[in-house]
């Protein structure tokens, strides 16, 4: 796995997505429910940044059309989105949030 630094853990506010670009991949990093998640930052329904949406119940909501995606699986919980978005492995080392965007993205159908 090729983990790269996304940000410092202290930069993440609870339930507030942070957009980063890692090796050309837009990623939304979210600290919620005691864990840190990394999800592809572009909604699968429209070309909209998920990091501009709200986080609740371990889901991130697309601000434009209201589809929410599970931060653990990338699976949408409702229309209009029908396809999941990739989620990426995350680890914390010495206060750094590391994400592997080159791992086979985890998706559930």
pLDDT tens, position by position, 98-107:
999 987 655 4
pLDDT tens, position by position, 17-40:
999 999 999 999 999 999 999 999
**Taking Cα atoms as reference points, which of 101, 97, 70, 98 lies closest to residue 88?**
101
Residue 109's pLDDT band (boundaries 50, 70, 90)? very low
Q: What gap in Å lies between CA 30 and CA 12, rounded to an integer?
A: 7
What's the average model confidence in pLDDT over 67-77? 95
């Amino acid at each position: 796995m090729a983990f790269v630094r996304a940000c410092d853990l202290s930069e993440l506010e609870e339930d507030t997505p942070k957009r980063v670009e890692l090796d050309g991949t837009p990623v939304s990093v979210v600290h919620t429910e005691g864990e840190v998640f990394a999800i592809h930052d572009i909604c699968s329904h429209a070309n909209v940044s998920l990091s501009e949406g709200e986080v609740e119940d371990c889901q991130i909501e697309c601000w434009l059309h209201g589809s929410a995606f599970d931060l653990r699986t990338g699976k949408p919980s409702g229309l209009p989105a029908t396809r999941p978005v990739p989620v990426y492995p995350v680890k914390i080392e010495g206060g750094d949030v590391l994400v592997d965007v080159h791992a086979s993205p985890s998706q559930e159908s």
